């Protein structure tokens, strides 16, 4: 085993793995970059513990995998840009919070024509009595579990994703909207997955409204089944790094009025999701 070889401990059968023997406060070697990227593709979300990273470290990590992304949510989002680092979002929630980011199953900003590929979130302050866990689901496993007939029905369909569904809390901002295939092929793994989510997806374009509502409600409930999800319990300086192209996540707000505070950066996708 070389000094740079990471360790990988899967978190569940379908999604997630914890990565060890790595220090994210230092530049990564080529071997570490390659192995971290391979684990990101294989597990959909990877976790690192005890990483006291700075904003620069977080930006450097994201930069290994793509161009850092500026959030498209505008004034209606619950997170705010970090001072001096517009690509880093402060996700701070406390007794005065009216809502938090991500308390619904979603992949980040699927309302964008080209959604961000990856998100990297670190928690710096956690509630004293536990809580504030994040659920992650595999959109591959959810797709794989559908019947052949349901896959054939969904395959040619497209769905509208609207930022206003998640972000609009009475602010006058115009939010992004996009239409993506309901079933997408991951550009790097070649696997098929379900690409609709309760946070942003508003309708299936080819169906009548009541048909669309029924199919989407079925798919939202299907993706939320526990069979292809895992629950991540944060500690101070834990980092989660997820692939928005094949996972969805849900942040649990069970800690009010306590504080949970962290920082997220994202890197850009290279192309629109395709069938």
Q: Name the site residues for ligand SIN (rule: CB under 6 A).
A: 91, 101-102, 108, 119, 121, 134, 249, 251, 264
Q: What's the rounded Cα separation, in Å, for the pair 89 and 68? A: 12
- Give phi and psi for 81, each to the nearest 5: -65, 145
Reduced to 3 states, what is the DSSP secondary structure of residue 76?
A: helix
CB of 170 to ligand SIN, least distance (A): 20
Least distance CB 57 / ligand SIN (angstroms) = 19
Comparison of 32 and 229: residue with beta carbon closer to ligand SIN: 229
Beta carbons of 139 and 247 less than 8 angstroms apart: yes
Q: Which of 60, 89, 92, 264 is catalytic?
A: 264
Judge whether 108 counts as a catalytic residue: yes
Catalytic residue among 14, 69, 89, 249: 249
Q: Are 252 and 102 in contact (CB under 8 A)?
A: no
| Pick 60 or 249: Cβ nearer ligand SIN | 249
113 is catalytic: no
Question: In whole angstroms, what is the distance from residue 39 CA to residue 13 CA?
Answer: 14
Q: Exactly one of 14, 92, 106, 222 is catalytic; which is it?
A: 106
Active site residue 14: no
Residue (101 or 212) nearer to ligand SIN, CB = 101
- Residue whose entry in the numeric block shows the structure tokens 């990988």: 8
Residue 95 sits at the vertex; the CA angle it makes with 235 and 110, to the nearest 5 degrees, is 65
Nearest distance, CB of residue 246 and ligand SIN, angstroms: 16
Structure tokens at 150: 């349901």
Whether 123 contacts 237, CB under 8 Å? yes
For residue 8, give every residue at least 6 positions away whose Cβ sits within 8 Å of its Cβ, in sequence order, or none.
Answer: 17, 18, 19, 20, 39, 43
Closer to ligand SIN at the Cβ: 19 or 28? 19
Closest distance to ligand SIN from the beta carbon of 44 (Å): 14
Q: Which is nearer to ligand SIN, 121 or 137 (CB)?
A: 121
Residue 78 CB, shortest distance to ligand SIN, in Å, is 9
Tell me, yes or no, if 231 is annotated catalytic: no
| Closest residue to ligand SIN, based on beta-carbon distance | 102
Quote the longest CA-to-CA distance of the chain.
58
Catalytic residue positions, numbered: 106, 108, 249, 264
């Amino acid at each position: 085993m070389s000094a740079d070889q990471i360790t990988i401990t899967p978190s569940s059968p379908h999604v997630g793995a914890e990565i060890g023997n790595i220090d994210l406060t230092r530049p990564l070697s080529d071997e570490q970059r390659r192995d971290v990227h391979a684990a990101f593709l294989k597990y959909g979300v990877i976790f690192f513990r005890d990483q006291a990273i700075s904003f620069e470290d977080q930006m450097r990590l994201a930069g290994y995998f793509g161009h850092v992304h500026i959030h498209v949510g505008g004034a209606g989002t619950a997170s705010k840009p970090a001072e001096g680092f517009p690509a880093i979002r402060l996700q701070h929630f406390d007794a005065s919070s009216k809502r938090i980011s991500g308390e619904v199953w979603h992949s980040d900003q699927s309302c964008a024509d080209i959604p961000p590929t990856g998100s990297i979130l670190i928690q710096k302050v956690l509630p004293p009595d536990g809580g504030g866990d994040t659920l992650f689901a595999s959109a591959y496993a959810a797709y794989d579990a559908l019947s052949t007939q349901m896959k054939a029905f969904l395959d040619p369909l497209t769905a509208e994703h609207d930022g206003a569904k998640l972000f609009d809390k009475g602010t006058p901002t115009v939010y992004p909207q996009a239409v993506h295939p309901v079933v997408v092929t991951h550009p790097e793994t070649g696997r098929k997955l379900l690409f609709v989510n309760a946070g942003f997806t508003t309708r299936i374009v080819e169906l009548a409204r009541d048909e669309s509502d029924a199919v989407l409600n079925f798919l939202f409930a299907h993706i939320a089944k526990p069979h292809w999800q895992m629950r991540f319990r944060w500690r101070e300086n834990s980092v989660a790094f997820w692939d928005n192209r094949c996972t969805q996540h849900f942040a649990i707000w069970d800690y009010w009025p306590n504080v949970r505070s962290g920082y997220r950066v994202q890197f850009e996708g290279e192309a629109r999701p395709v069938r």
